[in-house]
Amino acid sequence: MEMEKEISAIVTDAENAVRAVDVKDVETLPHRVDDLKAKYFGKNSEINNIYRLMKDVAPVDRPAFGKLVNDAKRQIEDRILSFQASCDELVLRFRLSAEQIDITLPGRGAVKGALHPLTLTRNLLTDYFISLGFEVTDGPEIETDYYNFEALNTPADHPARDAQDTFYIEGGEGKFLLRSQTSAAQIRVMENKKPPIKMISPGRVYRADEVDATHSPVFHQLEGLVVDKGITMCDLKGILDALAKRLFGESVKTRFRPSFFPFTEPSVEVDASCVKCGGAGCKACRGAGWIEVLGAGMVNRAVLRNCGIDPAVYSGFAFGVGIDRITNLLYGINDMRVLFENDVRFLKQFR
């Protein structure tokens, strides 16, 4: 009974949230509809949290409970999607009238293009690694489960493999997917090349996230890998510390925190001292004085073995940099949607 009340409260709450949207501010309407979607049927929505309570429900009551939640979920989705459709219509009409062409006006000069901020950051990163003798390689965006997970030591029951997080390709029998990390490219290089290996691989990656200020179903990573005799954690620290200085200035400090990734052992998360406050603590770093920049680690021996490289002879390190994240830090961008919307007013600032 309690649960029923809670579920119907969520439905009412969603309904109220839809009604509360001010449709007069047409320009920001698409963003606000995205936010609604993320809140009410994103991965961490309240209704999904209720699903998780299923295990506490007596088995005999589960079918009825499941139906109740499903019905509520469908009701919310239908409401928000039909609201979105009417908003799309509004936005379209607004744009059509705003972009109406007055043929009596004199012509406008063509706007000169510029490199996209993501391209600028990717170039900054690749130029740095090329100067250190790294090779740039490319990998396919449609990957197999083997390259994206299995060869990277990610077990079959790992949460990242969940269809909620990864885009599997229909009809691919779970074998094909849109790569969720550029790390997949490492394996292809190690299979085809014997050490010494020094490579980076920048590119697009995909995860099943609802769009909001900090999430996008497509984003960009740059993967790096070094394998040779006698490679140690010191090499990793040296290169990444120098990278942070190249990106954020000579006075930047780095720190390495223990972390976990299936394909590296030990794994670290690398923070840079906050560029804005120099480590004293400010709004940009949420008072911490440090900003998380990338993940890295020593290549797991199992991964080397999977690729036919003898871990008794060779060792290596790998790192993955979020290109979008670095772009946001470099240019003070706090809503990553602007990176994908191709609004000329935003883009021309980078000329």
Point out which residues bind Zn ion (CB under 5 A): 274, 276-277, 282, 284-285
Minimum CB separation from Zn ion for residue 248, in Å? 12
What is the torsional sign of CA 247, 326, 261, 144? negative
Minimum CB separation from Zn ion for residue 329, in Å? 11
> Of 91 and 282, which has the nearer Cβ to Zn ion?
282
| Contact by Cβ (8 Å): 173, 210 | no
> Of 204 and 276, which has the nearer Cβ to Zn ion?
276
Tell me the residue number closest to Zn ion, measured at CB: 274
> Of 124 and 288, which has the nearer Cβ to Zn ion?
288
> Of 181 and 273, which has the nearer Cβ to Zn ion?
273
What b/e sequence results for 8-42 when a residue is b if at least 16 CB atoms lie within 10 Å of its CB, and e otherwise? eebbeebeebbeeeeeeebeebbebbbbbbbbbbb
Minimum CB separation from Zn ion for residue 289, in Å? 6
Minimum CB separation from Zn ion for residue 325, in Å? 16
Minimum CB separation from Zn ion for residue 287, in Å? 8
Minimum CB separation from Zn ion for residue 276, in Å? 5
Tokens encoding 63? 């079918």
> Of 277 and 330, which has the nearer Cβ to Zn ion?
277
Considering only CA atoms, give the Rg of the chain.
24
Tokens encoding 28? 């920001």
> Of 189 and 270, which has the nearer Cβ to Zn ion?
270
